Structure 1
Amino acid sequence: MNKINVNRISWNKAIYLLIFIFFLCLNIQVYAALDDISSLEYEMYVDYQTYLDQYKDFTRPAREIVIPAVNYSRTDAEIEILDGFATYDGKVLITPNTGLVEWEFYVEEAGLYNVALEYYPLEGMGSKINRSIYINGEIPFGDARYIEFHRIWKDAGEIRKDNRGNEIAPHQIEAPQWVEASLADSLGYYNEPYLFFFEEGMNTIAFEAQKEPMAIGKIKIHQVKESPLYAEKLREYEEKGYRKTEGIMVKVQAEDLKLKSSSTIYPVYDLSDPLLEPYHHAEIRLNVIGGVRWQEPGDWAEWEIEVPEDGLYVFGFKAKQNLVRGIYSSRRLYVDGEVPFREAETIEFKFSNDYEMVVPANENGEPYYFYLSKGKHTIRMEVVMGRMADIIRRTEDNLYQLNNIFRQVIMITSATPDKLRDYRLQERIPHVIEELGIRALELKGIADELALNTGELGGQVAQMNAISRQLLDMAEHPRTIHKRIQQFRDYLGNLGNWLMDVKKQPLTLDYLVVASPDMEMPRVKPNFFETAKHEIKKFIASYFVNYDMIGDVYDDTEHEPLKVWIAQGFDQAQLLKRMIEDDFTPKTGIYVNLELVQLGNLLPATLAGIGPDVALGMQSFDPINFAIRNAVVDLAQFPDFEEVKERFHESALIPFTFRDQVFALPQQQVFAMMFYRKDILHDLGLGIPDTWDEVFELIPELQKNNMNLGLPVNDLNARRAVAPGIGMSTPQGSLSAFPGVMPFLTFIYQRGGSLYLPDGVKTALDSELAVEAFRQWTDLYELYKIPLQYNPQNRFRTGETPIVIDNYPFYNLLQVFAPEIRGKWGFTLVPGTRREDGTIDRTIPAGAMAQGVGSADMIMAASNKKEEAWEFLKWWTSAEIQSRYGRELESAMGEAARHPTANMEANKLLPWTFDEINAIQEQWKYVKGIPEVPGGYMTGRHLDNAFRKVYNEQEDARETLLDYVRKIDEELEIKRDEFGLEIDVDVILEKAKENPELYIWWE
């Protein structure tokens, strides 16, 4: 018996030894393969405050150095020198949107200086001009890479009315002029312009273009003049004998802007208040400016006023800040281009649900006096963060540090720790626990300061206090941290959301008042009877006014208008209507009635015979859905279709194509790209994977640090949605509803496979190639534990998923909603598959639009204006119109609303940087369209079912896939038979050999 036990023990040892050797060899292979992925190069920069601290012992010399721009010392840009450009007195330097220009100059006394640039915004993409700054060959601090220079805009004309009495906002056009601007923080975290250190002797300064061209007149190294205190200004008034004016009141409507720094600041309407000027209870009156369209630091609006006599005046602003509760919005006030006194650097507008008359005044409520001479003057209000700037900057820094702490904690505990285990965090990472306590106390201090500044304890202050209290409790009880990992993650998400809220500085203005001190300001709050009358009239009008019709509405007998439906937002519809009125109709003579509708309205309207001529923004499955029932027009029949289709990547037309017929034009197209955190990969000594083999080798390295890879996820609500379709292709089954399936299609396409057999008669998913791709897909989640459901934006911010593959508009979300990691991430091509010949296949499927967002533009078969409708579609999808629409939409709604146009040329004309558009265009080359076929609604649904069965029930991948493929094929056969299409596979395959272009249109 003992002998047997000894033998068993020996065999067990041998087995364990073999297992150990196997995994050792496996690890050696992994590390050897990882060595092939070069470590990511990433340069860390200090922040601005740290940079200033390095030179705190140096003074600010009262000297000025002026460098003519044409006296540059070196450049790699394609520059041009012009004399007298745009009325400039002398020669100027024309710089493009790429390249670097450097100047050399002598400094007599070392110290900290401001830098100002005299520039003229040249015609470009309509976005802000962006430059990186080098001092003596180096970026001085991180945010010096993102210096912004504003363009100047104005209304193209007067506000006009449509034929229903509604006012229409004028088009925004540029009004370029020479501007001297000091280099400052584009995020508004510092209220004063940047200071730069220059040594005694020869120095260099260089500007590297990141976006947009500009002309440069001169560079000035100097000290910005500080505004006097109001008390000093008041003494100056007394010394000069200025007197208070009497009996004068000048009112300027806020919508009567002279100039503005952003095209988002244009007149809008507010129907909430009967005392607004102008006012109508039912018709649209453009009576205010601002709100969310005037909230970004640095954006300014300027008005012109005229006063009848010299003297002292007070200012009043009828304003409302009702969008960020518990926080005030701040504006810097300029009179004739200068801040008159220091207190005008920050005029605060507190939260209120109603309009208030805000008169700039001291803490005792005594209004400030402003001296104006007789005649015309300008008043400018610039968005600043004021007293909130330091609070926001410190909070963002704490958020970044807390994300680092969270990442270090989950490196030990994992993102889903065992709650019964003691991870001994206090012993293993005591410095991290200590840092957590420090950060929690800093947040508590910030909350106290915020309460002091705002005078409120609720809202934003309460949220900050709750977060700091919970984090402090975690620091004091580190043995509970692993039990509260999800709470920790939620706190960081809440803190990020808190930052997004308080960073906004929205303000709505009705009018400005310049008045004598003895004049009483206008009443701005309606009484009970005025409000009641207003609400009753609005209610009655709602039964008679069609608010879905946009702009001018034309009578059928007079103009025979084209009826166009758009299933998008109100802002998009308004913009399109304005473009139709000022471009399409004048060019073609075709009038258009534009109506805003819901996505599901097209089917019942078509069945009732009251549908449109053109439907815009339909979902990708709609064209084939309607075409199979002869409800839409084949666009390929138009003689110039071949010319029009060259505007798009061939993949964009695939979902709308059946055989040689094309039933829609694409308005938008998205596709995946790989986003990565430079700082985290650099810290881990990892590089950017180029192939899926490298991805699979990289995942264990990430997971060793309890991080992971992020892939597209399914919208679970899509499975529960009510189908608006008519039985062939629905959101529940269309592949567009299952972005999580995209990795599977990627693996198939990169292996040279296909989704369907010719003509969509059957799937091509029963091949060995498809089985291998399916197993690779399920292995990602089953073996490698890639998260099935997660928030890509938050996980990328925290660093839990330092590599995320998502549609390229994810870039816009990060730019807007994750400023704390600005400069710490990048994006590149999706990994490819290495083929037997050594080449890398980078084919990827076209991406899915967000749920409820459509891309297909089609002509309805019932229309009797098909030629006019085709002219409209050609105009709408042209590069000129799509690029204009994209730029103006982004100007109106912000960078997060960047239009992912399907027109490849138009995409180049949107406000991307040179490197960004190159990466996007390169990835676009490898995009393959996903065909929509009769019965195809089962494909996405059953692929998702097959995946879940393998993942949840550990079923065999091969057998599960083949079972569901049979179900898909059965539905394809049923639908083909229903619509009179061939169902014999052999017949179709034979026809495909004879005419592949007709039967394999997606290849």
Structure 2
Amino acid sequence: MKKIHIIILSIVLVFFAYIVTDALLIAFDTDTLKYNQSVSVESGRANADDSYVKNYQDYVLSKNQTFPQGKEIVVYGTDFSSATGDFEILNNYQGVDKSLLTKEAGSFEFEVDVEEAGFYHIKLRYFAYEGKGSAIERKFYLNDEVPFEAVEQVVFHRFYGAKDIVEQDFLGNDIRPSQEEKPIWTDAYLKDSIGYIDEPFYFYFEEGVNKIKLDSIREPLLIEKITVESIKSLPTYVEVKATYEQNGYQIANQPINFLQAETATRTTSPTIYPLNDRTSPKTMPSDPKLIKLNTIGGTNWGTAGDYITWEFDIEEAGLYEISLRVKQRLATGMSVFRNIYIDGEVPFAELENYSFVQSNDWRIQTLGTKGEAFLFYFEPGKHQLKMEVSLGVYGSVISDLQDVVNNLNKIYREILIFTGPSPDQYRDYELQINIPGLLDRFQEELDILKSLRQTLIDVSGSKSEKTGILDTAILQLQDFIKKPREIQKNLNTYVSNISSLGSLIILLSSQPLEIDYFMFHQPKAKLPATQAGFFESTWYSTRAFIATFTTNYAAVGRKDTGEVVETIEVWLSTGQDQANILRKLIDETFAPRTGIQVDLKLVAGSSLLPATLSGRGPDVALGQSNATPVNYAMRSATYDLSQFDDFDEIKTRFMAEAFVPYQFNGGTYALPEQQTFLMLFYRTDIFEEFGLTPPNTWQELTEMIPSLQKYNLEFYLPVPLTQGAAIALEPNPIFSTMFFQNDGQFYIDGDRQSGFNEGKGPEVFEQWTSFYTNYSFPVEANFVNRFRSGQMPIGIVNYNTYNTLAVFAPEIRGKWNFIPVPGTEYVDEFGQTQIRRETVASGSSSIILNQSDKKEEAWEFLKWWTSTETQVRFGREMEGILGAAARYPTANVEALSLLPWTLGELEKLQEQWSWVRGIPEVPGGYMTGRHLDNAFRMVYNESTNPRETIYDYVQMINEELAKKRREFGLE
């Protein structure tokens, strides 16, 4: 018993000691300068090459190093010397007398008379005129030449802010306000949109008249003036502090002035919006039960060039320190960087590439060095604070890493020429002899990787998973140099390591930072505690835990929408982000306009069938596969939408072929939601390197194969994988494309029989299978990874692959393109040779369940949901939250044209879309895709005769069609 008492007493003492220690640490943790860090790292690559950054550096070094001072040459937008394309001259627009509105197509040239030759900055005063919501892009020419690669795509930001004040749902939770454009006239230097080069570009102007030209790439741009000005260096803080003393500035005697970060005035991206943090009771404001929008930034604020602007008031003139409550825990093993502007300017050099080190908890950090806080002079009145994402020292690291990835990929393609994608493990290919300087090239990249690894450690102070990626690649290159005869044995691992290095580029490029609030204060002001004490944290966590049992999460986000006429139940099975956006759109537009409330539920896709069978299904189901509407219609479970009087009017929103999968027995049982179709993607850099041209027809594709295979490069034609024992499998999209281009019909004789045996069907099947049997196309491959490495520089995939490549393959930015799929030639009635490009689409749909007794209200919802306005808003909100990777593949024709595609991209998409054909859904049609795949694999694996094989499987398809027609009582 005595021993138990001693143990209990010991536990109590330890617990008491912990509480006292915790309280003391919090009380005495007043050093808000300890997280400040000063880092500077130079590039480790000594040799000049053709990389993105080195191309710019070579340009600068190739000119006389002359920097005229005190110069400023202004050219107004309306004073252009020549123009092509659409434009307008706007008078008195947003406070500017005259300005030039340049549209999405065209080019505009301006003459600049320079007195003294040398390097200058170029600054545009512009207004982000209304467009499709994406960043504005222009191509820049100086004296009829693109001076360096980086200005082939100059980006001008749009500006966003909260559309409304923060409102609460009926539970008291904050509802995130929509982000809307808030354009203003602004000055922007021409600088690197990727962030590898962290200062405005240097442009060399000759003495006399120089020509500047801007080519439109994306979105309209309104220009007031272009300024060519001298390059000035920023003063240091020591110099600025000396001016304070000279001017007699005094410390302001004012209480702490708080600025809540979530109340930002403007951002450069709709993805930067207020967030909810419930990790600490010290966050302002905070609630353990309710959602409070109390911070900003996080993962959404990590892209180079994005910035947030805040406005604040100062009551008394004087010197202030600036502190902020900040958290940087997402970028593990690295610091993140910001350029900090006061009233539009970086006040001194130390605020360029200002670093925030990683720490798992919230902290209060005062701007300064480890030994001294910076002072800022403010006059009374309104001021601006702006923080811009910068890559800082990582700019040079990422640039060098990009070079390494490009060079290792190039070496891999050279190795493929001798080994092929599946080399003989026991053969000596003598690669070090056949590829000149192979080992020296490996050694050069190895040295750079070692240098980059040390740089990451120097910046962060420790190793991390990021240095681990480099370690793996370093070990392999060392192994290759030691054992060159075994290189071919590890090619798969080599490619994987290159992909990992590409992923490391993405990781290093992301610079997330979350901010709770700012404080403008006296140097000796008592700042709030950073962390909560033990009892406060425990009580907060306990209340948050209890709230998980009492909160109705299905009702979160719903607000009062006025008088309710009726309530319908809508199910969707996509994701939480989609559900949140849809909930907000419903409450903002649908419910107030119609008086129909929506009970929106996020459910698993498999829930619809049992719920419908039990009579407890919803009124409307969104996001259904192509097969679901007709599959349910055969069992009288979905409602025929063509029964509505205005159906024909609503139908015009979509391509006519989009309805084919949803039609059965004269009825239409769904409205299209999303539609994706095939496009041909290819690597422009590799095609230029080998002198190849993307194929326009299947005949050209066949003729191009020897040229590809000469370099052991691959062409990708997708073969969808079977999913376990599942019966449903969509017909192969490539076969379907070729089949439709040769007048094929999937079903004949009133949908009673398969049409694969009719007309050119057997010939098309033989041609399609020959790509894999005769030309050795891969049946299974990760197209995106092989496309990134260059092993597979061309392939036919759904157009939304664009989203993946645009976001997750930054190392090949600007080195790929897409065009319509290869076509089939035919001679028209006038004797002219034409090309037909039919292809097929996949997508999702919206249905009304037959058991619903609110079909009119459900139809009103579907009309609203598939309208152009709603689809565009939903698409832009999705892209605003998740970025370009979530670009919405809407089936609404007009809505697609309003999403952020360039004119060139949109023209190609619309051209291919006009050729899209729908595959009918019929009773027993689920066996069509399955048996088509079986026939293909029989030819591929067993080398059977293609024509005989497709004939045999057509009989099996016909048997299933007949069986199902009998089951459903069809003729």
Aligned match for 2:469, one of 460, 463, 478: 463
Identity level (%): 42
Q: How many Å apart are 1:555 and its aligned residue?
A: 11
Task: Report how far residue 46 of structure 1 moved.
Answer: 7.9
Q: Specify the SS of the correspondent of 1:236.
A: helix
Gaps of 5+ in 1: 1-42, 721-731, 850-854, 983-1003
| Cα distance in 2 for residues equivalent to 1:945 and 1:192 | 58
Q: 1:56 to 1:190 in 2, by over 3 A?
A: farther
What does 1:304-343 correspond to in 2, within 5 Å?
Answer: 304-343=311-350
Distance 2:288 2:612 in 1: 34
2-structure distance, mates of 1:906, 1:580: 18
Once the 2 structures are TM-superposed, how far is the Cα of residue 535 of structure 1 from its aligned partner? 3.5
Secondary structure of the residue that 1:689 maps to in structure 2? Answer: coil
In the superposition, relative to structure 1, how do residues 952 and 532 fare at CA in structure 2: closer, same or farther (>3 Å)? farther
Aligned to 1:763: 754
Could you say which residue in structure 2 is the equivalent of 1:52?
Answer: 60
Quick one: distance in 2 between partners of 1:211 and 1:846?
Answer: 28
User: Counterpart of 2:724?
Assistant: 719
The superposition leaves residues 14-47 of structure 1 with CA deviations (integer Å, 9 ceiling, x where unpaired) of: xxxxxxxxxxxxxxxxxxxxxxxxxxxxx99983
CA distance in 1, matches of 2:898, 2:826: 35
Output the amino acid matched with 1:632. Answer: T
Aligned to 1:654: 660
Quick one: which amino acid aligns to residue 545 of structure 1?
A: T
Q: 1:75 to 1:923 in 2, by over 3 A?
A: same
Question: Contact between 1:750 and 1:841, CA under 8 Å: does it hold in 2?
Answer: no
1:392-791 paired onto structure 2 within 5 Å = 392-549=398-555, 551-552=557-558, 559-715=565-721, 718-719=723-724, 732-736=726-730, 741-767=732-758, 769-791=760-782
8 Å contact kept, 1:228–1:342: yes
Residue-by-residue CA offset, 1:371-418 (whole Å, 9 max, x unaligned): 222333221111111111111111112211221111111112111111
SS at match of 2:680: strand
Moved more, 502-511 or 311-320: 311-320
Alpha-carbon shift at residue 558 of structure 1 (Å): 5.7
- Are 1:832 and 1:840, in contact at CA under 8 Å, matched by a contact in 2? no
Amino acid at match of 1:719: G
| One-letter amino acid matched to 1:846 | V
RMSD, matched Cα: 2.2
Q: Partner residue of 2:858?
A: 869
Shift of 1:893: 1.5
Whole-Å Cα distance in 1 between the matches of residues 52 and 560 of structure 2? 60
Inter-partner Cα distance in structure 2 for 1:425 and 1:547:
61
- Would the alpha carbon gap of residues 540 and 941 (structure 1) be closer, same or farther in structure 2, given more than 3 Å must change? farther
- Paired with 1:333 and 1:435, the residues of 2 have a C-alpha distance of 41
Distance change in 2, residues 1:45/1:229 (3 Å): closer
What amino acid is the match of 2:241?
L
Amino acid at match of 2:687: L
TM-score by length of 1: 0.88
For 2:305 and 2:323, locate their aligned partners in 1 and report how far apart those are by CA, in whole Å: 22
Cα deviation digits, residues 740-798 of structure 1 (max 9, x gap): x1111112111111222244322112336222222222211122111112121121121
Query: What amino acid is the match of 2:724?
Result: R
Partners of 2:232 and 2:855 in 1: how far apart?
A: 65
* Bigger Cα displacement from structure 2, 898-907 vs 607-616: 607-616
Residue 562 (structure 1) shift: 2.3
Matches of 1:954 and 1:787, distance apart in 2: 16
What one-letter code is carried by the residue in structure 1 that aligns with 2:947? R
Of 146-155 and 513-522, more deviation after overlay is shown by: 513-522
Q: Paired residue for 1:974, among 940, 963, 967?
A: 963
| Stretch moving more, 707-716 or 162-171 | 707-716
Indicate how the Cα distance of structure 1 residues 550 and 594 shifts in structure 2: closer, same or farther if over 3 A, else same: farther
Q: Of 232, 248, 265, which aligns to 1:225? A: 232
Give the 3 Å change call, closer, same or farther, for CA 555–222 of structure 1 in structure 2: closer
Q: Tell me: CA distance 1:545–1:966, structure 2 relative to 1, closer, same or farther (3 Å).
A: farther
Q: Equivalents in 1 of 2:752, 2:559: separation in Å?
A: 46
Contact kept? 1:425, 1:433, Cα under 8 Å: no
Distance 1:873 1:238, change over 3 A: same
Deviations 1:166-215 (CA, angstroms, capped at 9, x unpaired): 21111222222111110010101111011112212221001111111121
1:554 deviation in Å?
7.2
Moved more, 620-629 or 762-771: 762-771
Instruction: Give the secondary structure class of the aligned counterpart of 2:753.
Output: coil
User: Would you say the 8 A contact 1:265–1:294 is kept in 2?
Assistant: yes
- Determine the structure 1 residue equivalent to 2:160: 153
Are positions 1:935 and 2:924 aligned together?
Answer: yes
Contact 1:247–1:518 under 8 Å retained in 2: no
In structure 2, the CA distance between the partners of 1:273 and 1:711, relative to structure 1 (3 Å rule), is farther
Superposed displacement of residue 222, structure 1: 0.9
Which residue does the alignment assign to 1:126? Answer: 133
Does residue 950 (structure 1) correspond to residue 939 (structure 2)? The answer is yes
The answer to whether structure 1 residue 265 and structure 2 residue 259 are counterparts is no
Residues 65-118 of structure 1: CA deviation (Å, up to 9, x unaligned): 111111111001222223322111x32112111100001122222212110001
Once the 2 structures are TM-superposed, how far is the Cα of residue 965 of structure 1 from its aligned partner?
2.4
CA deviation profile, 1:705-746 (whole Å, cap 9, x unmatched): 000111224245x336xxxxxxxxxxx34344x6xx111111
Give distance in 1, aligned partners of 2:963 and 2:562: 43
Larger fraction in strand: 2
Is the Cα–Cα contact under 8 Å of residues 550 and 596 in structure 1 kept in the other structure? Answer: no
Give secondary structure in 2 for the equivalent of 1:846: strand
Deviates more, 1:321-330 or 1:545-554: 545-554
The structure 2 residue matched to 1:857, chosen from 842, 846, 856, is 846
**Counterpart residue identity of residue 520, structure 1:** K
Instruction: Give the whole-Å Cα distance in 2 for the aligned partners of 1:194 and 1:608.
Output: 66
Match of 1:844 in 2: 838
Q: Normalised by the size of structure 2, how large is the TM-score?
A: 0.91
Q: Is residue 620–residue 848 contact of structure 2 (8 Å, CA) maintained in 1?
A: yes
Distance in 1 (CA, whole Å) between partners of 2:346 and 2:244 is 15
Counterpart of 2:47 in structure 1 is: none
2:406 maps to a residue whose letter is Y
Matches within 5 A, 1:795-874: 795-835=786-826, 839-849=833-843, 855-874=844-863
The structure-2 alpha-carbon separation of the partners of 1:458 and 1:182, relative to structure 1 and needing over 3 Å to count, comes to same
> Per-residue displacement from partner, 1:267-318 (whole Å, max 9, x unpaired)?
1223333332222223222122122221111111111222332222222222
